[in-house]
Amino acid sequence: MKISWFKKVISPDVGAELAGYGPHDVSVTKLDDLYATGLLMDDGEKKVLLVSFDLLGLDASFIRGIRKFYAASLGMEENAVMLTCTHTHTGPHSRTINEGRKNILNVPYLERLEKVLRDSVKDLADPRPCEAFYYSAYCDENRNRRYVTADNRGSFTPHRREVISICEATHFADKELGMVFFFDPKTGNPLYGIGNFAAHPLAGHAPGIGGLRISADYPGAFRDYVLAETGAEAMFITGAAGDMVPKEDELGSDAIRSMGVRLGKAFIGGMIDAQRNPGRFHIAEPKLGSTSRIFRVPFREQFRRNPELLPESYLGSDCSELEIQCVSIGDVCFVGVPGELCSELGQEIKWHSPFRRTFIAYNSTAYFSYMCPANFLVQGGYEANNQRFAAEGGLVLLNTAWEAMRELRESVFPSAGEKYPDGNFGPVVNIPPNR
pLDDT at 20: 84
pLDDT at 212: 96
Give me the mean pLDDT over the 19-25 stretch.
83
Given a contact cutoff of 8 angstroms between Cβ atoms, the answer to whether 367 and 95 are in contact is yes
pLDDT at 166: 87
Whole-angstrom Cα distance, residue 324 to residue 366?
10
pLDDT at 312: 80
What mean pLDDT is reported for the chain?
Answer: 94
Give me the mean pLDDT over the 45-55 stretch.
98
Kindly tell me if the per-residue pLDDT of 100 is higher than 60: no
pLDDT at 32: 98
Kindly tell me if the per-residue pLDDT of 101 is higher than 60: no
Least confident range of 61-65, 341-345, 406-410, 418-422: 418-422
Residue 424 pLDDT class (50, 70, 90 cuts): low
Kindly tell me if the per-residue pLDDT of 102 is higher than 70: no
Least confident range of 111-115, 314-318, 327-331: 314-318
Share of residues in the chain with pLDDT > 90 (%): 85
Residue 210 pLDDT class (50, 70, 90 cuts): very high
Q: Which amino acid is at 363?
A: N
Higher per-residue confidence, 104 vs 185: 185
Q: What is the pLDDT of residues 264-317, one digit of tens each?
A: 999 999 999 999 999 999 999 999 999 999 999 999 999 888 888 888 888 888
pLDDT at 310: 85
Q: Is the dihedral of CA 413, 418, 421, 427 positive or negative?
A: negative
Kindly tell me if the per-residue pLDDT of 17 is higher than 90: yes
Residue 423 pLDDT class (50, 70, 90 cuts): low
Kindly tell me if the per-residue pLDDT of 175 is higher than 90: yes
Give me the mean pLDDT over the 128-152 stretch.
96
Residue 98 pLDDT class (50, 70, 90 cuts): low
Whole-angstrom Cα distance, residue 259 to residue 269?
15
pLDDT at 315: 83
Q: Is the bond preceding residue 421 a cis peptide, omega within 30 degrees? A: yes
